[in-house]
Structure formats: C-alpha cells, structure tokens
Amino acid sequence: MNFDWNTWASEQRIEFPILKEQIYGKPLVYLDNAATTQKPQCVIDAMSHYYLHDNANVHRGVHALSERSTLAYENARRVIQQFIGAKSHKEIIFVRGTTEGINLVAQSYGRLALKANDEIVLTELEHHSNIVPWQLIAEQTGAIIRVIPIHDNGALNLDIAQQLINKKTKILAVGHISNALGSINPIKKLIEWAHAVNAKVLIDGAQAIAHMPMDVQALDCDFYLFSGHKMYGPTGIGVLYAKEALLEVMPPYQGGGDMIATVSFEKTVYNQLPYKFEAGTPAIAEALGLAVATQFIQALGWEHIQAHEKSLLAYATPMVAAIPELSILGTTSEKAGIISFVLDHIHPHDIGTIVDRSGVALRVGHHCAMPLMQRLGVPATVRISLALYNTQADIDQCVAAIHDVRRFFKRVAS
C-alpha cells in the first residue's frame, strides 16, 4: 500500500500554530518557504523557556542562571555539530545567518588567501549574498570573479565549469540549491574539481538544509553555511561550518567581548575556537531554538520529509504548468520543491497581490538573484516554495487563485 503523504503532511501542520491563521477570511496557504519557514511549537517553547527560566549572559557569569544558559548554549552547538556531521564543535560558528557567514569567510579567509589576479568562481544561480561579499573582497585584493553559466533549464553548464575551475582558482563559492529556481547543483563533483587545483570551496546551504541530510565530512567542503529561519528555526541565527585547520589560521572578523583571551592597549590575544569568531553577546535563545529545530527535523526523518516534498512537487508541477499562458522557469530534473513561473502580460507583483486575497502567500520579485533574472530575460518571477507541512489542498487553493488572476485581467482587458 502506498503511504499517504498528504495525510502525513496534514498531521505535521498541527505542530505549527501560525498555520491555523486565516487571511482575509480564507485558510492560510503558506508557500513562501524558501524565504522563511514557519516555526513549530517546540521551537517557540524552547525560546520562551529560556527567557522565562534561564535568561542570563553566557560564558561570563558564575551564578546559576549564567551557568545554565552557558550549558544550554554550548549543548546547542554540539546538537548542530551532530546534525551536519562536523568533526568537532570547534567547527561550528554561530552567526546571524548565511549572509553574515559568507561575509565572514570573504573578509577573513579571503583577505588571507587572495591576491591580485587570483580567481573566485561563482555561478549564475547565486543569491546576492553569495555575490556581493566576493565583489567587495575582489575590489580589495585585485582578485577576479569568474561565473559558471547555466543552461536554459536552470542546470549548471558543467563543461564550462570544468574549464573555469583551474589553477588560478582560489575560491569556489556555490549554492547547494538555487533559491530562485530550485536547481540542485552537483556540489560533490564541483568540490572534487576545485580541490584538484587546491582551491577552497564554500557552499551556501541556506536552501538545502531543510530539505536533505547533510554530512560535511563526507562532502569534504571547506565551508558550509545555513540560516535557522529557513529550517523551521528562529530568525537572526545561522551557522558557519568550516574545517578547523582553516579557522585556526583565519583572523577574527569582528572584535569585542568573548572573542578574546587577554586585552591590553599594546596587544590582544584572541580566544580559542569557536569563540574567536563570536564577538559580543550571542543570540542565545535563537541558538537554543535552532538546536530544537534540528531535533524536530530528525525526529520526523529525512526519508519522510524528502518523499513528501518530492511527491508534492510532482503533484504541483503539472497543475501549474497546465495554466494557460504560464511558463515555468527552471525545469532541470535535479530540482528541489520550488516552482518559479511567469504569466504572460501580468506582472508578478500583481499576481502576488491578488492571490494574497485568497489567503495564498507566494514570493514575487527577483528573489535576490538579479543576475539570474537578467540571464532568464525576465524582471521577476512568481515563486512557489514547498515545505514539509504543505498539502495538496494548499496547491489546489494556490492554482485556483492563479486562475482567478487570469480571469480578473481578462475582464479588465475586455
């Protein structure tokens, strides 16, 4: 008997209080998960418990609350270490999110490793947060940015990728999954090519971390980054994983409290890992919430999450594609739960505004991927992005709302 993934997803919805909301009197259909996911009750409870019972700064106090907070915070680090298969808790750096983590690597490792005419390789699929930091460090060091193009279906052109990754390459920075199209990049192969020429590899895992299991040691990437809010955790917290040997030689990104061992006006001695990169009071409650989010995911089981999302994408894609005058962008077979589309003669912003009145939350715009939009020849797209709590009923309501958009504009035109 085939497992009923739709029923499974309906059962998971109970854990997410916000999904009981109504928008303009309609049931909320939340399909903007690539921007941020909703939070299960267990994550909300973990953060509330900290503020209600343990609120104190970490690492600095000898009183009971500080000791409890420190123990919980450092345990969260180890939970996340286990979640991504890192070798040591020292390789887990808490940051505000993927964006801050990429900036940290660019400014700390980039300053150390790059010189004039060295090459940084990116792809046409990248989010702005994996473009702009590299442009900044390239301007500062004289390094040159090379870009791997994509095929029309949204897949990387691997023939050109293999040519661009050469002895001049010092850093390859690539997204695991495209936030705009859902394309899953062959990062294992790209890592092998980069390491063959002694280049370091940074993987932007923001869109992948909630949708597939991760083992950074097996992957052998040098840096892997993700944000809590895209994996059912809080905003304002994320993780930079980096190999310990690299972190040891990288200079601090920010200065302040807790990242030091001793300070005098003559000299500062920096703290040991991972604290060397965590200046100031950290996002304590958010780190605890993130750890609980990883446990929530693991308790559900990756095999269930992936099977459900694959099933839902297979259900949604032909329904969306069948809408007259609609074109899906990003049709590679290696794809996560994202459907990005345009509708002839109707601006994506108009679509997003109208479907919102039906309770459907979609993302419209350039998705912080303006170079990709230029490559595709569109100013913006409408993006449906799926999560473990979405159901076929969500897709049905969304598709019906898009049909309403078409009918509205036909009436206006007539």
User: What is the CATH code of the structural domain delimited by 5-37+301-413?
Assistant: 3.90.1150.10
Ranges for all domains in the chain classified under CATH 3.40.640.10: 44-298
pLDDT, tens digit (0-9, with 9 covering 90-100), for 302-325: 999 999 999 999 999 999 999 999
pLDDT at 411 over 90: no
Check residue 3 and give its pLDDT: 73
User: What is the CATH code of the structural domain delimited by 44-298?
Assistant: 3.40.640.10
Check residue 19 and give its pLDDT: 97
Torsion of CA 266, 100, 201, 210, to 10 degrees: 140
What's the mean per-residue pLDDT of the chain?
A: 96
Check residue 2 and give its pLDDT: 67
- pTM confidence score: 0.96
| Interval 407-413 mean pLDDT | 84
pLDDT at 1 over 60: no
For residue 61, the one-letter residue type is: G
pLDDT band per the 50, 70, 90 thresholds, residue 383: very high
Computed over its alpha carbons, how large is the radius of gyration of the chain? 22
| Interval 125-151 mean pLDDT | 98
Two tokens at 194?
A: 């980069």
What is the phi/psi pair of residue 221, to 5°? -75, 160
Indicate the helix (H) or strand (E) that contains 116.
Answer: none
pLDDT, tens digit (0-9, with 9 covering 90-100), for 41-92: 999 999 999 999 999 999 988 899 999 999 999 999 999 999 999 999 999 9
Provide, rounded to the nearest whole percent, the portion of the chain with pLDDT above 90.
91
| Interval 243-267 mean pLDDT | 92
Pick left, alpha or beta for residue 88 (phi over 0 → left; psi -120 to 50 → alpha; otherwise beta).
beta
Two tokens at 142?
A: 């004289």
pLDDT, tens digit (0-9, with 9 covering 90-100), for 343-360: 999 999 999 999 999 999
| Per-position b or e across 245-264, b if 16+ CB within 10 A of its CB | ebbeebebbeeeebbbeeee
CA distance to 151, 266, 279, 282, per residue, from 189 (Å): 18, 47, 35, 36
Better-predicted residue by pLDDT, 260 or 74: 74
Active site residue 221: no
Q: Are 389 and 19 in contact (CB under 8 A)?
A: yes
pLDDT band per the 50, 70, 90 thresholds, residue 39: very high
Exposure on the CB side of residue 351, measured as CA atoms within 13 A: 26
Strand partners, 342: 327
Residue recorded with tokens 């063959």 = 196
Check residue 79 and give its pLDDT: 98
pLDDT, tens digit (0-9, with 9 covering 90-100), for 209-228: 999 999 999 999 999 999 99
pLDDT, tens digit (0-9, with 9 covering 90-100), for 161-191: 999 999 999 999 999 999 999 999 999 999 9
Residue of 381, 374, 332 whose CA lies nearest to 151: 332
The Cβ of residue 377 has, within 10 Å, a number of other Cβ atoms equal to 8
Q: How many helices (H) and strands (E) does the chain have?
A: 14, 17
pLDDT, tens digit (0-9, with 9 covering 90-100), for 10-28: 889 999 999 999 999 999 9
